[in-house]
Structure 1
Amino acid sequence: MTLWTAAEAAAATGGRATADWQVNGVSIDTRTLQPGDLFVALKAARDGHDFVAQALEKGAGAALVSQIPEGVSPDAPLLIVEDVQTGLEALGQAARARTEARVVGVTGSVGKTSTKEMLVNILEIHGKTHASVASYNNHWGVPLTLARMPRDTEFAVIEIGMNHPGEIAPLARQARPHVGLVTTVAAVHLEAFESVAGIAKEKAAIFEGLVPGGAAIVNADIEHADILRQYADEAGAGIVDFGRAASDYVLTGVVQKPDSVHATAGVDGKDISFDVQSAGTHFAMNALGALAACVELGVDLNDAITGLRNWSPVKGRGVREQISLAGGGQIELLDDSYNANPTSMEAALEVLAASQGMRRIAFLGDMKELGAQEIPMHAAMANVAAMTQMDQVHCIGPLMKALYDALPAEKRGLWFETSVEMAERLPELICTGDTVLAKGSLSMALARIVDGLREMGQGDALEP
């Protein structure tokens, strides 16, 4: 199906098409570009104009540029605009305007991507659903997701993130969601914010983009829920809350199982229950927020609960794997290596604490962007309740040295500056029957620990 014609894209962006072309996708990376895509020559680490010729050689249907690149013919299929980023945003807004899709925007300090995937699993049963790929949630990820949205989309799930103040509101205005969901607010990106209250205000800015009469889904259990309610009220949104302290979707119980969680809740005076295919109370909370959002989008609650059963965590975000060791026996891996902050770190440790392994082993890497309190915040992880259930904790990175020093001697494993150094020692640190957690900020490359554990096995790890 044609996504954009030259005439449609030119009208949307105010640009000039050099030929009569049509495309069926949008790409910003020649490595993943598919034939027939519109290549967007963004300027990031490198100038995308340097790759236009390569994109066209790989079969791109056209390229969005601000000038004709060197080595590219003037009659090549191009869309020339004043600024490529602005052009991409205009394309995204045009795609949003031409569809009748019901849109949900998701933000939060923790749980954005898993909640987005839960929503997708529920909504795709009820209509053609479009969503952000991976964690495409920033100033180029949101307009790219919108620009890729087919005109016959019935539901759209747009993940919206931030690193600095003032980022969420303009992205929310581009997405114009019918429902805005804030999963939680926590001490993340404190380098750019003076306080967690400041982070709450930034997250609450998602409600500024709601369509008239839209719904704001608010986590009632967070410290600054009042800020979220205030912003939602100022936006004229209907407020729906979820959590233990909520009045709408009230979490009444969570039962941890080895690889899942069973939750109960009260909704409109009725008792409901649902299962989430990953251990952890935080996943039950995310699921309850997702259920509330789906109901606001017009999905029956029981149907939403049924759809939720199809969800399982994605790579690096809580996936469980059984790995058969080459010498015999098995270990269980909890791969939560994609990101980390104090809230998600504590949640991951709770999941490990509830596991049934003979030993509970954690490999923990630095938590980045915590600001001036980063050292004491790392050391404080030694005092979280789940830490009492750990058998051995191995620490990676200069910040995690603070946790290493704060740990009781009997729980203290090894400390190394990098994951590569730690990975070399894995064979002597892991025994059959262990349950192993890998958790850290993406830049700490805890995926190297995950890969090292898999390399200790025979054959492929089981898919989640």
Structure 2
Amino acid sequence: MNSSLADKAHEKFQGEEKIIWNKASLEQALGCEVRASFSACGVSINSRTIRRGEIFIAIKGENFDGNDFAFDALEKGASLAIVSGADNNLLHDNKKVVVVKDTMVALTKMAKFARSRIKGKVIGVTGSVGKTSAKEMLKLALENQGNVFATEGSYNNHIGLPLSLAKLPEDSDYAIIEMGMNHAGELADLTVLAIPDIAVITNVEAVHLEFFKSVSAIADAKSEIFNSMQAGGFAIINFDNPYHQILVSKAHNKQLNVVGFSETQKTPARLISYKLEKGISHIKAELFGREYEYTINAPGKHLAYNSIAVLAATKIAGAEVDCAAYNLSKFHSVKGRGEIHHLKKITVLDESYNASPVAVKAALSNLGNYQAKGVRLIAVLGDMAELGVNSANFHKELVQDIIKNKIDKVFTVGAYMNHLHEELPKELKEAHTDTSEQMAEIIKKYVNESDVILVKGRRTMKMENIVEALVK
């Protein structure tokens, strides 16, 4: 490779970004020799998006082998490449290549080392729905109260979480780690790495039922986040959720302090009132005996619930709640998770990232808030995910919320949503298609001025195709 190009790229990043890894720390983490002296500002497993000064880790997947892209990563200015094979002589002879037996094991070791060296608070966030929004809220709430690190996007699984931890700067005052699962045992593996000081569980709902016998079993799986927490840690739990007692019992078994958040019960964190005005959520909450009033620049009562959990975590982590509440006024819904497109003639509510029964019902309720004279409320709904043998019924039951929220017209996409299509009253029923691409062509010709259109469906339905057709 042209080492001078890589060296120049490496020189440019120094002084611009925080150094996370060097030769000494990586040798300590991996327990092996690193031949090159280096400094790294991050970690990547993607040679296409790698930035100069990052460590490239060659992960093997079902359809790819990261080792094939190590040379490209180094050419783009990677500080180092960690590979599990160096048959290529150019790689083998390069001091910036570290050969290990298993790169996934190496990534895990880096994650454990990075977690072990920080002195700040680690906040783990999980839940059936709302964890990404809660994580983003926490990041915003704490942003000017110390050095804050948060998981990027939805990097919350067996690869994404250790990758996130491997990027964790040593001087982080607050680390916000999103933790996801769709099978029992997955959170247990993740919490061994993250070891949260504070765990936030947004809710437990009928999500991933394809892999669980009951919602109670999902609650058991969510409680795995407590497994590696130290006694005296904190569990922040939604007491309005019917499965909260399972979580409370599991938390107490681990000798954790339980902090409830609720609207209907006298918990330390309590939602007093919620009002939506012109797309802005106005919230009054009580936290540990003191009232706060604040706004969120996004609609949805579910966001209000998440916000009181966020403020509770802020208080427990030792940050200022007043500052955090003020910061929340800058919150905007994440792309695909409630992002609002105010266009010249129409409004599009982009909920295209994923879908479950509780999330679709919340989105329909939000759409219902846009009722006004001359405004049509249109729902474009794609299949919901991983609902098991009762999937057809879960889709049919949405008709009740559609009617309750006075939705004017409903378009459906996918085999499971056809069950809803057949259940809909004739006056609400519009087109049904197998794919989002087909629906995109139909819906962009259908909408009229002043329409408000909700687009929501499971990730594999690619409902963003419909959003893109509408916002062009």
TM-score, scaled to structure 1: 0.94
Structure 2 residue 69 is the aligned partner of structure 1 residue 54 = no
Q: Which residue of 1 aligns with 2:390?
A: 373
Q: Which residue of 2 aligns with 1:174?
A: 193
The answer on whether the counterparts of 2:126 and 2:222 sit within 8 Å (CA) in structure 1 is yes
1:155 is displaced (CA, Å) by: 0.9
Q: Which residue of 2 aligns with 1:260?
A: 280
Q: Which amino acid aligns with 1:352?
A: L
The answer on whether the counterparts of 2:237 and 2:259 sit within 8 Å (CA) in structure 1 is yes
Q: Which residue of 1 aligns with 2:307?
A: 287
| SS at 1:177 equivalent | coil
Structure 2 residue 159 is the aligned partner of structure 1 residue 144 = no
| SS at 2:91 equivalent | coil
The answer on whether the counterparts of 1:251 and 1:263 sit within 8 Å (CA) in structure 2 is yes
- Residue identity over aligned pairs, in percent, reads 38
Partners of 1:119 and 1:21 in 2: CA distance: 33
Q: Which residue of 2 aligns with 1:314?
A: 334
Cα 1:371/1:91, change in 2 over 3 Å: same
Correspondences of 1:357-436 after superposition (within 5 Å): 358-384=375-401, 387-436=404-453
Correspondences of 1:40-51 after superposition (within 5 Å): 40-44=57-61, 45-51=63-69
Partners of 1:268 and 1:121 in 2: CA distance: 21
Q: Which shows bigger deviation, 224-233 or 43-52?
A: 43-52
Partners of 2:439 and 2:327 in 1: CA distance: 40
Q: Which residue of 2 aligns with 1:39?
A: 56
Q: Which amino acid aligns with 1:353?
A: G
Q: Which amino acid aligns with 1:390?
A: I
Q: Which amino acid aligns with 2:286?
A: G
Q: Which amino acid aligns with 1:64?
A: I
Cα 1:246/1:63, change in 2 over 3 Å: farther
Q: Which residue of 1 aligns with 2:7?
A: none
Structure 2 residue 261 is the aligned partner of structure 1 residue 242 = yes
Q: Deviation per CA, 1:29-59, whole angstroms, max 9, x where unpaired?
A: 1111001111111112311111111111111
Taking only aligned residues, the RMSD between alpha carbons, in angstroms, comes to: 1.4
Partners of 2:25 and 2:87 in 1: CA distance: 23
Partners of 1:367 and 1:72 in 2: CA distance: 48
Correspondences of 1:190-229 after superposition (within 5 Å): 190-229=209-248
Q: Which residue of 1 aligns with 2:8?
A: none
1:364 is displaced (CA, Å) by: 0.4
Q: Deviation per CA, 1:141-163, whole angstroms, max 9, x where unpaired?
A: 11111110111111110000012
1:83 is displaced (CA, Å) by: 1.4
Q: Which runs of 5+ in 1 are unaligned?
A: 325-329, 456-464
Cα 1:176/1:355, change in 2 over 3 Å: same
1:300 is displaced (CA, Å) by: 2.4
**How many residues align structurally?**
450
TM-score, scaled to structure 2: 0.92
Partners of 1:281 and 1:302 in 2: CA distance: 21
Q: Which runs of 5+ in 2 are unaligned?
A: 1-17
Q: Which residue of 2 aligns with 1:338?
A: 353
1:388 is displaced (CA, Å) by: 4.3
Structure 2 residue 464 is the aligned partner of structure 1 residue 447 = yes
Structure 2 residue 318 is the aligned partner of structure 1 residue 301 = no
1:69 is displaced (CA, Å) by: 4.5
Partners of 1:194 and 1:349 in 2: CA distance: 27
Partners of 1:280 and 1:194 in 2: CA distance: 30
Partners of 1:198 and 1:354 in 2: CA distance: 34
1:385 is displaced (CA, Å) by: 6.0
Cα 1:444/1:362, change in 2 over 3 Å: same
Partners of 1:251 and 1:302 in 2: CA distance: 16
Structure 2 residue 83 is the aligned partner of structure 1 residue 68 = no
Q: Deviation per CA, 1:75-123, whole angstroms, max 9, x where unpaired?
A: 3212222211111011011111111121100000000100000000011
Q: Which residue of 2 aligns with 1:273?
A: 293
Q: Deviation per CA, 1:362-412, whole angstroms, max 9, x where unpaired?
A: 110000111111111111111126654100010000110011111111011
